[in-house]
C-alpha cells in the first residue's frame, strides 16, 4: 500500500469544471453548506423530489442503531414515481429507454409504453399469486423486460432479488433458497459475443433444487429451444395478454424493495436489503446531482448490467424516477467490433456516460484510434464506478472520450450504500485524476486509523461513514447479527465503546491528500475486486476444495492491468494426484473450469499454481500477504511469523515452472 500512497501523492494535475456547465449546474457549491447546516432537513428536501401518497412524520429514526428508518410513516409507490407520474405530467411520449440489442435490433420505449408494460406485468404477478412482501428472483439478460420485471415487483410491493445472468446454477439456487423466492423471472437466453447464450437451463437446474419456487416466467428473447416444465409460463402468453390497467398502491417508506447479494469474507453471500423511501430519495438525488441530469435534453447511458447494484440504482431507479431518457445495451463492448460503445454514443447522441475502470482500461488497450473515428461531441459528463481508477486510465478517458472537455465523476459507493456517497459534483469540483474527491452533500465520510481516529490530511487508513444516510442497507436478509458484525463492529459504539457513536466500516483502504480529497486504495478485507465485481477469496477457495483432486487452496487478488485485480490460486493437490507434465497442465485447466462452473465465469482464476505447501503462521493461519507478493512478483515481505520459512522457497520455485 505504501508504494501506491507514494505514487498518488505525486499527482498534482487538477481540472476545474467547464465554465458553462458550472453556471448551469443543477447543484452548486452551496449544497455542501446547506447539508452541513442541517443534514436531516437537507435530505427531507431531497425526498420532496418524489411523490408521496402520505408524508412522513419523522425524517430519521436512529433510536435503535444500526437499524435505521428513514421518512418514518411516509408512504409511496416506487413504480408510480418512476413511471406513472411522468405520464400524468404529460411526458408519456418521452423516450424512457432506447434499447439496443447486441445483434443490432432496437426498441424504443416511451414512458407511456413503459407504464403499460409494468402494469401488465404487475397484473400477471398478482395472478401468479405474488403479493406484497413475497420474494421474486430475476435472472435476465439486458433486455427491457428486466427493468419491467423489477418495476412490476416494486409496484405490487414484492421484493425482488436480481441475480446476475452470468452466475452459475449453485449461485442462483443459493440466492433463491436464502430469500425463499416464490417466482423466477427469466428468459430463454440473451445475446453475448455474437451468439445466443442460454439462461433457461440454469434456471431449470436451480428450480429443481428449490421447492419454494411455484412459477417461472420466461421471456422469449433468442428463440432458442427450451425445455418446458409444469411451472413455466411464457411472458408473451401472460404479461402481454394481461390488462394494462393497474392502480399502484402506496407502501410504507421502510417496505423492503430489494435484496441484492454481495460477496462476503465467508462463503455465503450476503443478502443486502434495501427499502423504499430513503433508497429512492438518494438514488434520485444523486443521479440528478452527480450527472447534472437535464431530463429534457440529456441522453444517459450506464453500461452496467442490471444484475449489479449500479444497474439497480443508475439504470432503473435513479434515472427513471428522474424521467430521464436512457440507452440500454444488451451485449459485450466488442461485438461485432471494438467500436461498439462509440458507435452507440454517436448514434443516440449520448451526453452522460457511466462506465467502469476495467472497461476504460480495456478500451485503452484496444487503441486510441477506435474512439477517434467517432463523433463524441454529445458527451457532457463521464462517470466511473466499481473500483479505483488509476490516473493513467482517468487521463485516457478524459482525453480520448471526453476530448479534454467533459468533467469526470469518479463515484465511490457499494451495494450496501445503495447510492453514490463520494464523488465530485461536475459543476463544482476541480477534479484530480484518480481521486473520488469528497463526500456528497449530506454524507459524512472519513478516513480513520485503527483506533477510529480521523487521520490528518496526508494520512491513510480505513474509509468509514459516520452518519446514517437514506439509501443505506437496512440489514443482511435474515441475519441481523452478521449485519452488525460485518459493518458496525470494527469501530465506535458497535465495537462496544458507547461514546464513539456508530461508525460504518466500508472495508476499503483510503488516503486523504493534503487538500483533504479522498483516494480509494482498494479492499482491506478478503474481498477481491475483479473488473469491479466483488468476489470473496473464501468463495473461490471453497469451490476449489470441492474438486476431488484438491487438498487445500488459498486465493489472493493480484494487481492486474486490465481487471484491477485478478484471481490467483495456490492449490495443494491430493497425494495421489499426478501433477507431472501434461497431467498437471490438464488439472490446471480442469480446476479453472470447475470454479467457473461452480461460481460463474467471472470467478474463474487467471492463474492456478500447484504447490506442495502453503505458508502458514504458527497458529495455522494462511499468510495471504506472502502469496500476494508471489502473485505480484514482488520480493517477499516479512516472513518471520511463518511456521516454516522454507515453504516460500518451494512456492517461488514452483511459480517459475508453472505457467
Ligand atoms: O472497493 C470499493 C469498490 O467497489 C466496492 C463495492 O463493490 P459493489 O458492492 O459491487 O458495488 C460496486 C458499484 C457501486 C467498494 O467497497 N469501488 C466502487 N466504486 C469505487 C470503488 N473503489 C474505488 N473507487 C470507486 N469509484
Could you report the per-residue pLDDT of 382-426, keeping only the tens digit for each? 999 999 999 999 999 999 999 999 999 999 999 999 999 999 999
Residue 5 has pLDDT above 60, yes or no: no
Mean pLDDT taken over the chain:
93
Half-sphere exposure of 391 (CA within 13 A, CB side): 15
pLDDT at 432: 97
On whether 134 is known to bind a ligand per the annotation, the reply is no
Nearest CA to ligand 1 atom 25: 412
The annotation status of 386 as a binding-site residue, yes or no, is: yes
Nearest-atom index, ligand 1, CA of 523: 1
Split at pLDDT 50, 70, 90, the class of 493 is confident
Determine the Cα–Cα distance for residues 413 and 270; give it in Å rounded to an integer.
17
pLDDT in tens, 190-235: 999 999 999 999 999 999 999 999 999 999 999 999 999 999 999 9
Ligand 1 atom closest to the Cα of residue 527 is 1
Residue owning the nearest CA to atom 3 of ligand 1: 387
Return d(Cα 64, Cα 72) in angstroms, integer. 13
Q: What is the pLDDT of residue 161?
A: 98
For the stretch 533-537, contacts whose Cβ atoms lie closer than 8 Å and that sit 24 or more positions apart, written own/partner, are 533/308, 533/386, 533/602, 534/262, 534/263, 534/415, 535/263, 535/567, 535/599, 535/602, 535/603, 536/263, 536/264, 536/265, 536/266, 536/267, 537/265, 537/624
Residue nearest (by alpha carbon) to ligand 1 atom 8: 414
ipTM computed for the complex: 0.99
- Give all strands of the β-sheet with 445-448 in edge-to-edge order: 445-448, 460-465, 504-512, 518-523
Q: Is the pLDDT at 650 greater than 80, yes or no?
A: no
159 to 132, 502, 610: CA distances (angstroms): 8, 28, 44
Question: Would you say 515 is a known binding-site residue?
Answer: no
* pLDDT at res. 156: 98
Evaluate if residue 499 carries a pLDDT over 60: no
Has residue 553 got a pLDDT over 70?
yes
Rounded Cα gap, residues 492 and 471, in angstroms:
21
**Residue-wise pLDDT tens digits, 232-271:** 999 999 999 999 999 999 999 999 999 999 976 556 889 9
Please check if 388 is assigned to a binding site: yes
The x, y and z cell numbers of residue 495, run together, are: 465495537
Ligand 1 centre distance from Cα of residue 173 (Å): 25
Grid coordinates 467502469 are at which residue?
356
Q: Is 310 annotated as a binding residue?
A: yes
Indicate the pTM of the whole model: 0.91
Question: Which pLDDT score is estimated for 143?
Answer: 98
The CB of 305 under 6 Å from ligand 1? The reply is: no
- Amino acid 501: pLDDT: 87
* 244 Cα–ligand 1 center, Å: 39
With the most atoms of ligand 1 within 8 angstroms of its CB, the residue from 163, 391, 414, 471 to mutate is 414
Using a 6 Å cutoff on CB, does residue 411 contact ligand 1? Answer: yes
Question: pLDDT, tens digit, for every residue of 14-49?
Answer: 999 999 999 999 999 999 999 999 999 999 999 999
| Ligand 1 pocket mutation pick from 529, 533, 602 by most atoms within 8 angstroms of CB | 529
Any binding-site annotation on 202?
no
Checking phi first, is residue 450 left (phi over 0); if not, alpha (psi -120 to 50) or beta? alpha
Q: Is 13 annotated as a binding residue?
A: no
Instruction: Say yes or no: CB of residue 309 within 6 Å of ligand 1.
Output: yes
Whether ligand 1 lies within 6 angstroms of the CB of 102 is answered as: no
Residue 550 is labelled as binding a ligand = yes
> In this model, does residue 10 exceed pLDDT 70?
no
Across the range 145-151, mean pLDDT stands at 98
Q: What are phi and psi of 450, to 5 degrees?
A: -50, -30
Query: Percentage of residues in the chain with pLDDT exceeding 90?
Result: 81
Residue identifier of the C-alpha nearest atom 7 of ligand 1? 414
Question: What pLDDT, on the 0 to 100 scale, is given for residue 9?
Answer: 56
Residue 527 alpha carbon to ligand 1 centre in Å: 11
CA distance 577 to 151: 51
Ligand 1: residue whose CA is nearest its atom 23: 388
Note the pLDDT tens digit of each residue in 54-77. 999 999 999 999 999 999 999 999
pLDDT band at 7 (very low <50, low <70, confident <90, very high): low
Predicted pLDDT of residue 251: 98
Determine if ligand 1 sits within 6 Å of the CB of residue 462.
no
**Strand pairing category for 75-76 and 299-302:** unpaired
pLDDT for res 659: 39
Which residue's alpha carbon is nearest to atom 21 within ligand 1? Answer: 387
Q: How confident is the model at residue 654 (pLDDT cuts 50, 70, 90)?
A: low
Q: Determine if ligand 1 sits within 6 Å of the CB of residue 423.
A: no
Does residue 621 register a pLDDT over 80? no
Q: Which residue has the higher pLDDT, 383 or 641?
A: 383
Whether 313 lines ligand 1, by a CB cut-off of 6 Å, is: no
Tell me which residue has its CA closest to atom 22 in ligand 1. Answer: 387
Confidence of residue 445 (pLDDT cuts 50, 70, 90): very high
| Residues pairing with 262 in the sheet | 270
Radius of gyration for the alpha carbons in the chain, expressed in angstroms and rounded = 24
Please state the separation of Cα 96 from the chain's center in Å.
22
Instruction: Give distance in angstroms: CA of 508 to centre of ligand 1.
Output: 9
Query: Ligand 1 in contact with 518 (CB < 6 A)?
Result: no
Q: Is 415 annotated as a binding residue?
A: yes
Ligand 1 centroid distance, CA of 386 (Å): 4
Assess whether the C-beta atom of 169 lies below 6 angstroms from ligand 1. no
Amino acid at each position: 500500500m505504501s508504494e501506491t500512497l507514494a505514487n498518488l501523492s505525486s499527482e498534482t494535475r487538477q481540472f476545474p469544471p467547464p465554465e458553462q456547465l458550472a453556471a448551469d449546474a443543477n447543484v452548486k457549491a452551496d449544497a455542501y453548506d446547506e447539508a452541513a447546516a442541517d443534514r436531516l432537513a437537507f435530505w427531507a428536501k431531497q425526498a420532496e423530489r418524489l411523490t408521496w401518497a402520505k408524508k412522513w412524520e419523522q425524517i430519521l429514526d436512529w433510536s435503535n442503531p444500526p437499524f435505521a428508518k428513514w421518512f418514518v410513516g411516509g408512504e409511496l409507490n416506487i413504480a408510480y414515481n418512476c413511471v406513472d407520474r411522468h405520464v400524468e405530467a404529460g411526458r408519456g411520449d418521452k423516450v424512457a429507454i432506447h434499447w439496443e440489442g447486441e445483434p443490432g435490433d432496437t426498441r424504443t420505449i416511451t414512458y407511456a409504453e413503459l407504464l403499460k408494460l409494468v402494469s401488465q406485468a404487475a397484473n400477471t404477478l398478482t395472478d401468479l399469486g405474488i403479493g406484497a412482501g413475497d420474494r421474486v428472483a430475476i435472472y435476465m439478460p439486458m433486455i427491457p423486460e428486466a427493468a419491467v420485471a423489477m418495476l412490476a415487483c416494486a409496484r405490487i410491493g414484492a421484493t425482488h432479488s436480481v441475480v446476475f445472468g452470468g452466475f452459475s446454477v449453485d449461485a442462483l439456487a443459493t440466492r433463491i433458497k436464502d430469500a425463499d423466492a416464490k417466482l423466477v423471472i427469466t428468459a430463454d437466453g440473451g445475446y453475448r459475443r455474437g451468439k445466443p447464450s442460454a439462461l433457461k437451463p440454469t434456471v431449470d437446474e436451480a428450480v429443481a433444487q428449490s421447492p419454494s419456487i411455484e412459477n417461472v416466467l420466461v421471456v422469449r428473447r433468442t428463440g432458442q429451444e427450451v425445455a418446458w416444465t409444469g411451472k413455466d409460463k411464457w411472458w408473451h402468453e401472460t404479461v402481454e395478454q394481461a390488462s394494462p390497467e393497474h392502480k399502484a398502491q402506496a407502501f410504507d417508506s421502510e417496505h423492503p424493495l430489494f435484496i441484492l447479494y454481495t460477496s462476503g469474507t465467508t462463503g455465503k453471500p450476503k443478502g443486502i436489503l434495501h427499502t423504499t423511501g430513503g433508497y429512492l430519495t438518494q438514488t434520485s438525488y444523486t443521479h440528478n446531482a452527480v450527472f447534472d441530469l437535464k431530463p429534457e435534453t440529456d441522453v444517459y447511458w450506464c453500461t452496467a448490467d442490471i444484475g449489479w447494484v449500479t444497474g439497480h440504482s443508475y439504470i432503473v431507479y435513479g434515472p427513471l424516477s428522474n424521467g430521464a431518457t436512457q440507452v440500454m445495451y444488451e451485449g459485450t463492448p466488442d461485438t461485432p467490433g471494438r467500436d461498439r460503445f462509440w458507435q452507440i454514443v454517436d448514434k443516440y447522441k449520448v451526453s452522460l456516460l457511466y462506465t467502469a475502470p476495467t472497461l476504460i482500461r480495456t478500451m485503452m488497450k484496444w487503441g486510441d484510434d477506435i474512439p477517434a473515428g467517432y463523433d463524441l461531441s454529445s458527451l457532457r459528463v463521464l462517470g466511473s464506478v466499481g473500483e479505483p481508477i488509476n490516473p493513467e486510465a482517468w487521463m485516457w478517458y478524459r482525453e480520448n472520450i471526453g476530448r479534454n472537455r467533459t468533467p469526470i465523476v469518479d463515484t465511490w459507493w457499494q451495494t450496501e450504500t445503495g447510492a453514490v456517497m463520494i464523488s465530485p459534483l461536475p459543476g463544482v469540483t476541480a477534479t484530480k485524476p484518480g481521486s473520488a474527491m469528497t463526500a456528497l452533500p449530506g454524507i459524512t465520510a472519513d478516513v480513520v486509523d485503527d483506533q477510529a481516529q480521523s487521520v490528518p490530511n496526508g494520512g491513510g487508513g480505513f474509509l468509514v461513514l459516520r452518519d446514517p444516510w437514506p439509501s443505506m442497507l437496512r440489514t443482511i436478509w435474515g441475519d441481523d447479527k452478521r449485519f452488525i458484525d460485518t459493518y458496525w463492529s470494527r469501530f465506535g459504539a458497535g465495537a462496544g465503546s458507547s461514546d464513539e457513536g456508530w461508525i460504518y466500516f466500508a472495508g476499503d483502504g483510503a488516503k486523504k491528500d493534503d487538500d483533504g480529497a479522498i483516494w480509494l486504495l482498494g479492499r482491506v478485507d478478503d474481498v477481491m475486486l475483479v473488473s469491479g465485481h466483488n468476489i470473496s477469496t473464501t468463495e473461490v477457495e471453497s469451490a476449489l476444495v470441492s474438486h476431488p483432486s484438491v487438498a487445500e487452496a488459498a486465493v489472493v487478488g493480484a494487481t492486474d492491468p486490465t481487471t484491477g485485480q485478478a484471481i490467483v490460486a495456490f492449490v495443494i493437490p491430493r497425494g495421489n494426484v499426478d501433477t507431472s507434465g501434461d497431467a498437471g497442465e490438464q488439472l490446471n485447466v480442469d480446476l479453472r473450469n470447475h470454479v467457473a462452473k461452480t461460481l460463474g465465469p467471472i470467478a474463474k482464476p487467471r492463474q492456478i499454481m500447484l504447490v506442495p505447501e502453503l505458508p502458514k503462521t504458527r497458529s495455522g493461519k494462511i499468510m495471504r500477504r506472502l502469496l500476494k507478493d508471489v502473485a505480484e512478483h514482488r520480493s517477499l515481505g516479512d516472513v518471520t511469523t511463518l511456521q516454516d520459512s522454507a515453504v516460500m522457497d518451494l512456492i517461488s520455485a514452483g511459480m517459475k515452472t508453472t505457467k
